Each structure stands twice: as C-alpha cells, then as structure tokens.
Amino acid sequence: MQRNSTEATADFEQAMNINIFPTKEKANAAAADCLARWLTSPGTRNLMVAGGNTPLDLYQTIADLRLSLGHLNVFALDEYVGVPLAEPRNCANLLRQHVAEAWRVPAEQFFPVSSLATTALASGRTQERLIMENGGLDVIILGLGQNGHLGFNEPGSSPESTARILDLDAISIAANRKWFAGKFAPHQGVTVGLKTIIAARRVLVLAYGDHKTSAVKIMVEGPVSNRCPASFMQVHPETHLFLDPAAAAGLKSHIAQAPESRVTDRVAAPMGGKSN
C-alpha cells in the first residue's frame, strides 16, 4: 500500500522534552531511569515497544533491574513484511526475547505483529483494536529513522494514519539489509499508525550517532509536516527525546551545548486516549 504523500504543515509551540547526554551510555542510563519510573507508576499497563538495534541496551538495563512488570501488556510497534516467522531478528522474536521474556511478562500478554505478507495487515489492525479495547497506550518506546520515520510510518504518513503496510524508502531498505546482515532486505513494513503513536500518554524516543543528526534536527526544529513523521511529536508534551552529542549536533547551539538535561516525570493525560 502506498502512503499518502500529501503534505500537511502547521506552526506549534515546541512541547518535547529534549535530553542530551555526554555519551550514549549515559543517555541510555537516564532513559532507563525514566522508563523504570513510568513502568512502575500506578495505572501503567499498556506498553508498545520498537524493534531494531537502538533500544536493545535500554531493554537490557530494564531487565537487569528485575522490576515487577508482570502487569504489562506489551505490544510490538511494527514488523518487516516477508521475513520468515522463525527469523530471530524479526521484530516479534527480538521483542519476545529482549522484552517479554527478559522482563518476565506472561507470554499471553505479549502481542507481536505478523511478518507474513498474507496476515501482516490483519495483524496490525488487530493490534490497534486490542490497544483501543484496553484503553490506549500508556507508554511507547521508539527509535528514530534516518528519514524521520516512526515505526514504518515513512515520510508522507498522515498523523491520522492507522495500521497498514507501506512501501519503504530506499534508506530504510538499506538499513534493513544491514540489520539482517544481507540475508534479507525487506522493502515493505507493517506498522501501527501515527494516530496510535501520538495518542500514547508517554513517549520515549532514542536517537544516537551522527547518522541520526539530520533526522533529529528536522524532528525537533523543522516544521510539523508529514515530510518528517517524527515532527508530529513536537506538540506532544510527554515526548522525551534522549540524545548523544552526535545525534544532537545539528540542533541550535544553546540546546546542543547543554552537557546534560534533567529528565522530568510529569503525569499527563493521553492525547486522545484514557486518563490516568
């Protein structure tokens, strides 16, 4: 399915919480501290998690804390279409191992998305239905694509978009090929829509390295536009962005030179979801 490429722009006051740390390791430690508080706070039940390499250290840090997280429903954000179900590095198996099992979440409370072309779309739609039936997302963990995508919501995605299969940009296909060490290079992905992501009560985004510099700058300082889906998070007051200096290098100097940012822990009602 082709995404809608109609541009939509608007001017809004910046609401994101930007947290820059001297190293990726310190950023991950701060992100883990923030996430641990969120996951154990009263009312937190529905969590959405992203696959890929960026959040793996964060997931391991949470596992090492041995928190009591058996109350969580864990939903996968997206999946590579056309990759075998048994492939260890597809999102379902990666998240089952590094989140659900590592955090001791009951197997029946982990909800993956299918990678099979014949069932992927129905699986994504079921994911969104289950989230809605359970009151919306309390927390979502995201990486940031080099082209500004969230999940597989590629440039051109509407903030009202729902679960669907998308044709991926060349830069995303190249990243997929690298992730699978050349074994697979998926050209399509299935993802929950931006509408579900934006409605989450709390949002944690990780971006590290100079290959994310441009995407971070557009996400934070660019116009709110479907040319950079991540820019829609500018208006979400409980989006917490964790960066290292390389990823933050393109930001305005008074932000990028901050040696360390304090992580806030405000309690907010979801945008379009349930109240706490």
* 154 among known catalytic residues: yes
Residue 15: which pLDDT band, with cuts at 50, 70 and 90? confident
pLDDT band at 149 (very low <50, low <70, confident <90, very high): very high
Does the annotation mark 149 as catalytic? yes
Mean pLDDT of 210-238: 96
How far is it, in rounded angstroms, from Cα 78 to Cα 119? 13
At residue 253, the pLDDT reads: 53
147 is catalytic: yes
pLDDT reported for residue 262: 44
Q: What is the mean pLDDT of residues 177-187?
A: 94
Indicate which residue of 78, 138, 169, 244 is catalytic: 78
Give the mean model confidence (pLDDT) for residues 117-136: 98
Does the annotation count 134 as an active-site position? Answer: no
For 201-213, what is the mean pLDDT?
A: 98
pTM of the model: 0.88
Best CATH choice for the domain 9-256 from the list 3.40.50.1360, 3.40.50.620, 1.20.1290.10, 3.40.640.10 = 3.40.50.1360
Catalytic residue among 57, 138, 154, 169: 154
Q: Give dist(CA 75, CA 151) in Å, integer.
A: 13
Q: Give mean pLDDT, residues 100-116.
A: 98
Interhelix angle 56-65/24-40, rounded to 10 degrees, is 50
Is the per-residue pLDDT at 184 higher than 70?
A: yes
Taken in order 207, 212, 217, 219, the sign of the CA dihedral is negative
